[in-house]
Structure 1
Amino acid sequence: MLVSISIVGEDDNLNGPSTEAVALEEIKRWLREEKQNLHARLEDKYLLTFLRGCHFDLEKTKTKMINYYTMKKDEVVWYRKRDPSLDEIQELVKLGVYVPLRELYQNHLVVIIRTGAHDPKKHTQDNVFRTGQMLTDIITFLEYDCSTIDGIIAIFDMKGVTVWHAKPLTPSVVKRSVFGWTNYLLPPDQFEFVNAPFYLNVMINLFKSCMSEEMKRKVRVHKGLESFHKVFDKTILPVEYGGNGESLSSLILYWNEKLLSYRDWLLEDEKYRAE
């Protein structure tokens, strides 16, 4: 029978096993039963990432794991050949299509997604997604696992977006990307669209049409940075966004080095998926 377990303090379980230990044992027992259908990582470090993200609710954790590993099976172009040394991946990383901040904001992971940074005639949208998923995986599982508790703030910088960037974003592609956000480890907490001129409303509305009502309420659109600064503390933002934080070039260099250092892990991780 599935049960829900709430997070408790260290002193609440002096005479028995901790919530963490009980939850880990239940998830491991369930995975042993599901071993023919779900080839998942079994180390405590990775299981705790899912449990924290679901606030130790076991039923939600199991659903999240099924959806995540099923997505890894179905979205072949995102979760195969995840070699960060490949030329097409290196080009996208160095262009800064997906730039996480190194500092958490109120325990949220903050990622700047620069939708107009790449050349859509040269780089496929699937490779853009694949690059973002690789970076998010190493951050979530290996660098900032605590960020799964409060989720992610996604800043979509629409500067430089052209009709050629929008053309590959068919309704089916948008639906897949929204499904990916929904079923990923980090629950999306805010979607901030910045530098978004009015003619991009069609693209933004296409994304919103694929979102749940709850997710739609997390979307905010800003024509410029002035209104954005009113709702987001700019102290950790890169200087290119009117903040006092680390520059984009420095962040891109840092995360590219991290990505390359985890090459073996990324390639080995491809085998973990639903069967």
Structure 2
Amino acid sequence: MGGEYVCTLSPELVQRAKDEINEVPERRAADIEHIRDWLKHQPHINARMDDWTILRFLRGCKFSLERTKEKLDMFYTCKTLCPEWYKNRDPQDKKMRAILELGTFLPLPGHDSQGRKVIIIRAAGHDPKEFTMDEVFKATHMISDIMVDEDEPMSITGVVQLLDMEGVTAGHAMQMTPAIVKKAMTIWQVWTRVTLFG
């Protein structure tokens, strides 16, 4: 999606957005424009300005304008401070393609009975001697970004993650250093607030 927002939600999800996250369709465009105008006055934030990107943040913050500003600031700060996850994101890069093909982060087709996207995370899906956690997380976030960009219902219903720990070795555990865990948790909190309503 890009440019002007066109709603693709079912009537049921439109109602759910009203009831659960304070989305008022008649006020939606004004809220988006308010955030866009604010972003234009934030020279340190190099943000996407299209309606859909801004709307995702508004939904993730239950249409609190101040909270949306805080989350946008945090999101783009994380991207700046973590270039190893957000720069040179070519899915055809030999190493990236190899990780993507391992299926360490698998969004399943369709949605569950509550309309949520289901993702299987295979913690031991990669060989720790061959791939770093930074490389694995980079691939994971590439998939996540496509999901939030292309699956509008997910911006209302959220996601469910199933963590598959089968085959985890000491080598996998040693990759999860305190620095990696802190970075992952910080970015995950920002991402979930964009898509899950934390």
Q: Is the 8 A contact 1:31 1:38 kept in 2?
A: yes
TM-score for both structures, normalised by structure 1: 0.60
Q: Is the 8 A contact 2:60 2:197 kept in 1?
A: no
Per the TM alignment, residue 188 of structure 1 is displaced from its structure 2 partner at its CA by: 7.6
TM-score for both structures, normalised by structure 2: 0.83
Separation in 2 of the partners of 1:94 and 1:32? 39
Give 4+ residue runs of structure 1 displaced > 3 Å after superposition.
Answer: none
Separation in 1 of the partners of 2:70 and 2:156? 17
Per the TM alignment, residue 177 of structure 1 is displaced from its structure 2 partner at its CA by: 0.8
Per the TM alignment, residue 170 of structure 1 is displaced from its structure 2 partner at its CA by: 1.1
Per the TM alignment, residue 96 of structure 1 is displaced from its structure 2 partner at its CA by: 0.6
Q: Is the 8 A contact 2:59 2:195 kept in 1?
A: no
Match of 2:190 in 1: 183
127, 134, 138: which one pairs with 2:135? 127
Partner SS for 2:110: coil
Per the TM alignment, residue 139 of structure 1 is displaced from its structure 2 partner at its CA by: 0.9
Q: Is the 8 A contact 1:78 1:127 kept in 2?
A: yes
111, 114, 126: which one pairs with 2:119? 111
Partner SS for 1:111: strand
Separation in 1 of the partners of 2:48 and 2:128? 35
Partner SS for 2:131: coil
Is the aligned partner of 1:40 residue 2:62? no
Pick the structure with greater CA Rg: 1
Match of 2:167 in 1: 160
Is the aligned partner of 1:30 residue 2:44? no
Is the aligned partner of 1:62 residue 2:72? no
For the aligned residue pairs, the C-alpha RMSD in angstroms reads 1.7
Separation in 1 of the partners of 2:124 and 2:117? 22
Is the aligned partner of 1:85 residue 2:101? no
Partner SS for 2:125: coil
Cα displacement string for residues 249-271 of structure 1 (whole angstroms, at most 9, x for unaligned residues): xxxxxxxxxxxxxxxxxxxxxxx
Match of 1:51 in 2: 58
Percent identity of the aligned residues?
37
Separation in 1 of the partners of 2:38 and 2:74? 15
Task: Give the letter for the 2:108 counterpart.
Answer: L
Match of 2:79 in 1: 72
After the TM superposition, which residues 104-253 of structure 1 pair with which residues of structure 2 at under 5 Å, given as runs?
Answer: 104-105=111-112, 106-141=114-149, 143-184=150-191, 185-187=194-196
Match of 2:106 in 1: 99
Q: Is the 8 A contact 1:97 1:114 kept in 2?
A: yes
Partner SS for 1:156: strand
Separation in 2 of the partners of 1:24 and 1:82? 28
Task: Give the letter for the 1:170 counterpart.
Answer: T
Distance 1:176 1:188, change over 3 A: farther
Task: Give the letter for the 2:35 counterpart.
Answer: I
Q: Is the 8 A contact 1:6 1:19 kept in 2?
A: no
Q: Is the 8 A contact 1:53 1:151 kept in 2?
A: no
Partner SS for 1:167: helix
Match of 2:13 in 1: none
Cα displacement string for residues 97-144 of structure 1 (whole angstroms, at most 9, x for unaligned residues): 110112122232221110111100001110100000000001101x10
Q: Unaligned 5+ residue runs, structure 2?
A: 1-20
- Work out the number of aligned pairs and report it: 175
